Amino acid sequence: MRIDGAAYRTIWPEGDGVVAIIDQTRLPHDFAVVRLTGLEEAAHAIRAMLVRGAPLIGAAAAYGVALALRADASDRGLERACATLLATRPTAVNLRWALERMRGLLAPLPEAQRVGAAEAEAAAIADEDVEINRAIGLHGAALIRAAAERKAPGEPVNVLTHCNAGWLATVDWGTALAPVYAAFEQGIPLHVWVDETRPRNQGASLTAWELKHHGVPHTVIADNVGGHLMQHGKVDLCIVGTDRTTATGDVCNKIGTYLKALAAHDNGVPFYVGLPSPTIDWTIADGVREIPIEERDGREVSELTGRTADGRIETVRVTPDGSPVANYAFDVTPARLVTGLITERGVCPATRDGLLGLFPERG
Ligand SMILES: CSC[C@@H](O)[C@@H](O)C(=O)COP(=O)(O)O
């Protein structure tokens, strides 16, 4: 994607054991590039959410392994790197997927070959993510085009999205937003309702920033507005991302996604999920019971951070001192509420048969 005319990915190697990332904790107010040089820095970047979003977490972990091996390419070094990175965040399965892929490739190799192979594999994971998301964009844009054809000529298609599943959440393009970018580039009139996505505000801070830079018409709304908009016919379709999808089509995404799916179901609004195949956890069938839900620091709920009128970044408390706080970061939307999964191989029903129809090699 482009920022002020320059093309960027969210993560890129700079050579000599340096991997650059965009520090997403500083957006939308500051665009800052941070350089990672070792395992602990990579783990911190994922844990503290300088990089976030399921596909980007996977790519960052892969680069983290490559950085770690420069310091210690032994079997112990490889195991330590994988264990440290796996412990950073529990919900996005892309993390486990990327680490298993790295370990599977690297463990049989002699130590002397591991760094080069790890760097090449991390780059391959990043490149594949870009191509997967480009394909999701084209399949999803067809859905937006179909919605446009049901409207008066020139009237925008209203898409509602939750959290940030745009290019910042991936290496490029995004998952839920890839169809939006593809449709926008095809000249389909559209407008995006952006859920603010408390507590960390990935919608208000990141999705709005992305869409604004790309020139896509959008409006930020408080998290509880979606149901009202749907009741009044102001949402044509919802598209969200996912951190882990079961083999049966249950979808785990940012907290609040489930409530949007319920509102969409009640109002007959199609609810789609942008889904790169590394986000499918083929080992599980029941999302509510089996997907680990991250619980984060309560200060993300009890405090708010933003820019003051004179340009300072400040954090303020919004709850009474002493009130207990709970901070569940994800929820599960059962497959029955999902209209379709938009994958790199096409759109399918959120069912085991639907997924196996597109990925028969998993049968
Ligand atoms: C393409 S990203 C899909 C999901 O990872 C995204 O919707 C999301 O929930 C991100 O959560 P985050 O906690 O910001 O990592």
For the Cβ of 279 lying below 6 angstroms from any atom of ligand 1, the answer is: no
Say whether the peptide bond before residue 28 is cis (omega within 30 degrees of 0): yes
Count CB atoms within 10 A of the CB of residue 325.
13
User: Closest by alpha carbon to 271, among 283, 282, 279, 263?
Assistant: 263
CA of residue 323 to ligand 1 center, whole Å: 28
Task: Kindly state the DSSP code that residue 297 receives in the 8-state scheme.
Answer: -
> Which residue type does 185 have?
E
Q: How far is CA 222 from the centre of its chain?
A: 20
User: Cα separation of 279 and 146, whole Å?
Assistant: 26
User: Cα separation of 126 and 3, whole Å?
Assistant: 19
User: Cα separation of 153 and 304, whole Å?
Assistant: 42
User: Cα separation of 104 and 99, whole Å?
Assistant: 8
Domains of the chain: 2-127 (1.20.120.420), 151-362 (3.40.50.10470)
Determine which residue's CA is closest to atom 1 belonging to ligand 1.
165
Answer yes or no: are the C-beta atoms of 323 and 115 closer than 8 Å.
Answer: no
**Which positions are catalytic?**
243
Query: Which tens digits make up the pLDDT trace of 265-314?
Result: 999 999 999 999 999 999 999 999 999 999 999 999 999 999 999 999 99
179-188 burial, b at 16+ Cβ within 10 Å, e below that, comes to: bbbbbbeeeb
User: Cα separation of 277 and 243, whole Å?
Assistant: 11
**52 in a known ligand binding site:** yes
**24 in a known ligand binding site:** no
Task: Compute φ and ψ for 65, nearest 5 degrees.
Answer: -60, -45
Number of H helices, E strands in the chain: 13, 18
Task: Kindly state the DSSP code that residue 328 receives in the 8-state scheme.
Answer: B
pLDDT at 2: 87
> Which residue type does 67 have?
L
pLDDT at 363: 92
CA of residue 237 to ligand 1 center, whole Å: 19
For the Cβ of 161 lying below 6 angstroms from any atom of ligand 1, the answer is: no
> Which residue type does 39 have?
L
Query: Which tens digits make up the pLDDT trace of 6-51?
Result: 999 999 999 999 999 999 999 999 999 999 999 999 999 999 999 9
ipTM of this predicted structure = 0.98
Query: Which tens digits make up the pLDDT trace of 133-183?
Result: 999 999 999 999 999 999 999 999 999 999 999 999 999 999 999 999 999
DSSP 153-185: TTPPEEEEE-S--SGGGSSSS-SSHHHHHHHHH
CA of residue 328 to ligand 1 center, whole Å: 13
- Binned at pLDDT 50, 70 and 90, residue 329 comes out as very high
pLDDT at 4: 87
pTM of the model: 0.97
For the Cβ of 169 lying below 6 angstroms from any atom of ligand 1, the answer is: yes
